[in-house]
Amino acid sequence: MMTINSIPLLLILLTVASCASNAQKMDISVIQFKEGISKQDIQILDVRTQAEYNSGHLKNAFLADWTQPKVFEERIKSLDQNRPVYTYCLSGGRSSAAAEKLRQLGFKEVYNMEGGIMAWKAAQMPVEGTPTTKPMIMEEYLALIPKDKTVLVDIGAVWCPPCKKMAPVIADLVRNSKDTFELVNIDGGAQEGLASQLKADAFPTFIIYKEGQEIWRQSGIVSKETLLQHLQ
């Protein structure tokens, strides 16, 4: 039997549950994002780098690079805290963090697109500023993987900081073990469709093939020793 004293506690629990439910809705699908930005008086925030933005972005998107905190904080000053903000990045990670930051700063409505612009493009949604680089199809990619050799595929992007850190590691690996494997470089920034098909959701992503079959993969910073271990 419910007592009078239990009613306030119940109200608190219902309020917390409601807040949690609303928080969960802040990460929205591509379709929901598309519907949201079709409304008037909204703001679209691209939190990627300038190079990423130049490679293709949503119409009317405002750029504020999340990887440069001072630049980000300065640029978002021009946004209206009382108008809805729709954020996105490459795959959803940076924009999720940026969205949380905006909420902490007092923005009333902030929505993050799950899967980022990779999911947006995969859904055949329009972008502006896309370069004329010819998209690589899966058949062309597989043709780069000879079945009689061990192949290391490096999927990265010119604007990717971890990729830049890995560049000398890969160069040293090729220089000292060039007879052990064949290296295939894929520009995931320009070939986002292929990267999505390969499930390379983060850059760099390294994939090793033997006899034409994938045997290992890992994303992010990887030691030379780990790569050698799986290449042998």
163 among known catalytic residues: yes
Statement: residue 207 has pLDDT above 90: yes
Active site residue 160: yes
| Active-site position among 98, 113, 160, 227 | 160
Residue range 96-112: mean pLDDT, rounded? 97
pTM over cut 0.75? no
What residue spans of the chain are helical by DSSP H? 6-24, 30-37, 50-54, 69-75, 93-104, 116-122, 138-142, 161-177, 192-197, 224-231
Do 217 and 142 lie in a common domain?
yes
Tell me how many domains the chain contains: 2
Determine the distance from the C-alpha atom of residue 54 to the mean position of all C-alpha atoms in its chain, rounded to a whole number.
16
pLDDT band with cut points at 50, 70 and 90 for residue 164: confident
pLDDT single digits (tens) 183-202: 999 998 778 789 989 999 88
The predicted structure's pLDDT at residue 25: 57
pLDDT at 16: 43
DSSP structural state of residue 135? P
Question: Cα–chain-centroid distance for residue 75?
Answer: 21
213/183 same-domain check: yes
Does residue 159 or residue 128 have the better pLDDT?
128
CA distance 113 to 95: 8
182 lies in some domain: yes
- How far apart CA 104 and CA 208 sit, in angstroms, is 42
Other CB atoms within 10 A of residue 88 CB: 32
Q: Output the domain CATH number for residue 151.
A: 3.40.30.10
114 shares a domain with 32: yes
Domain residues for 30? 26-122
Q: Is 225 part of any domain?
A: yes
Query: Is residue 219 domain-resident?
Result: yes
Catalytic residue, from 151, 163, 166, 190: name it.
163
The CATH number of the domain where 109 resides is what? 3.40.250.10
Q: Are residues 155 and 113 in the same domain?
A: no
**Mean pLDDT calculated for residue range 152-176:** 89
The Cα 191–Cα 200 span in angstroms is 11
State whether 114 and 187 are in the same domain: no
Residues 32 and 118 in one domain: yes
